Structure 1
């Protein structure tokens, strides 16, 4: 896999700037980009510059929206961010909003590594959106029975396996993505998970997503009260990217 990634890096470096690698399998294409990005040393300062474009939707703090339209990406595992960007670019994950911003001429493999590292190092909000809180005992049992084995006892994710951190994520975003995974709309979803959750009913989904949304990250990953990203001090006053 590493050998193929090096070949891929050479192709995009020596090529014409067009995404010309002839790979029929989108998943393989994304996997090669992931492996290639992991070979690179991220430049967080450059990642800050790249993130200016992302901040328009994901907000300067990368906290997303409680509505769930945009997820909290701050504090996410860096390898997970790289994988999702690679999957979107390779059309292994459908995201029409993000796809134009992942084009090779706009986002190089090095820049994917850079911006992923920058986002991963941002502190997370203490006030993510949560569910109704009416069925948490049921949600906890489902999480422990079905989710903890892969996502960890507190939904902390797994770096080496690119399993996302879920703690502190917005409830409505979790709900939407879970339903899409169950219904086959997230093509990059883990096949074992897709099979495992086919029998989940509305009550089960709401309860377990509510429970997950209330799992707080460790204190060292959380932003101080009233924290705002100092890298974008004029964002709110101008309403424009810097």
Structure 2
């Protein structure tokens, strides 16, 4: 049976952060945390889409009814993210494998429900259409910084995140195309500097020598990669009819 959420108002949906992630001190347990525990349980449950919509009401106060977050990066865009990635990040926050003290109380079972609720709400979020005007970096296509970011992405990121940032469902690699520049930049820096305890150690190793300028250029590039039209909302003015 699905567990209905406790609706707790504006503070209740503080950012789910998505993820590229890890710290060197915790590398040995990353794979276990990815495939076991509540993540594994929720992945094997049949989602109740209607209950997922109800649970998402808690999240919508910060991530917005459309799941778009904010272009300034305060809260990430969740819409269209791979369901396994969403499950893992929620489960990691609940299990204190990812530090997010603001969100932690609102991710707990008493706030949103048990593993079934995770299965439900992530199924709902994954089907939301994405913001067609995500937050982007400062360098337009054709500038030297854009081209260098493109090269950095090809040399360092494409193997895991895909040719256009589509991610990998089976390996829990997040979809980063269409994500807000400022949010990705913050997460990239935290991963590089060892502040994301649930990050993939392979990524930490891959980006450890990135300068701040490298970081900005590669994130600028991926923030500008076009998302397939069928995955986008019809306009930036679109409103989620489930919350009218």
Shift of 1:29: 6.1
Say whether residues 1:48 and 2:53 are aligned partners: yes
Counterpart-to-counterpart distance in 1, 2:117 and 2:67: 17
Whether the 8 Å contact between 1:130 and 1:213 is mirrored in structure 2 is yes
Say whether residues 1:111 and 2:117 are aligned partners: yes
Shift of 1:216: 2.2
Counterpart-to-counterpart distance in 2, 1:147 and 1:73: 21
Shift of 1:105: 2.2
Tell me which residue corresponds to 1:5: none
Whether the 8 Å contact between 1:29 and 1:90 is mirrored in structure 2 is no
3-state SS of paired residue (2:147):
helix
Tell me which residue corresponds to 2:18: none
1:86 to 91, 96, 105: 91
- Structure with bigger RCO (C-alpha 8 Å, 6+ apart): 2
Larger Rg: 1
Counterpart-to-counterpart distance in 2, 1:165 and 1:221: 12
Tell me which residue corresponds to 1:180: 190
3-state SS of paired residue (2:170):
coil
Shift of 1:152: 0.5
Tell me which residue corresponds to 1:205: 215
3-state SS of paired residue (1:231):
helix
Counterpart-to-counterpart distance in 2, 1:159 and 1:215: 19
Any unmatched runs of 5+ in structure 1? 1-24, 234-242
Q: Deviations over 1:19-41 (max 9, x none)?
A: xxxxxx98656731111011100
Counterpart-to-counterpart distance in 1, 2:29 and 2:175: 24
Normalised to the residue count of structure 1, the TM-score between the two structures is 0.83
Say whether residues 1:231 and 2:242 are aligned partners: yes
Counterpart-to-counterpart distance in 1, 2:46 and 2:227: 26
Shift of 1:227: 1.4
Whether the 8 Å contact between 1:76 and 1:119 is mirrored in structure 2 is yes
Tell me which residue corresponds to 2:9: none
Counterpart-to-counterpart distance in 2, 1:62 and 1:29: 26
3-state SS of paired residue (1:64):
coil
Normalised to the residue count of structure 2, the TM-score between the two structures is 0.83
3-state SS of paired residue (1:168):
coil
- For the structure 1 residues 90 and 199, does the alpha-carbon distance in structure 2 shift closer, same or farther, using more than 3 Å as the test? same
Any unmatched runs of 5+ in structure 2? 1-27
Counterpart-to-counterpart distance in 2, 1:103 and 1:64: 21
> 1:69-218 alignment to 2 at 5 Å?
69-106=74-111, 107-133=113-139, 134=143, 135-218=145-228
Whether the 8 Å contact between 1:128 and 1:170 is mirrored in structure 2 is yes
Counterpart-to-counterpart distance in 1, 2:80 and 2:226: 12
3-state SS of paired residue (1:208):
helix
Whether the 8 Å contact between 1:92 and 1:188 is mirrored in structure 2 is yes
Q: Deviations over 1:48-101 (max 9, x none)?
A: 000001000101101001110100000000110000001111111111121111
**Aligned residue-pair number:** 209
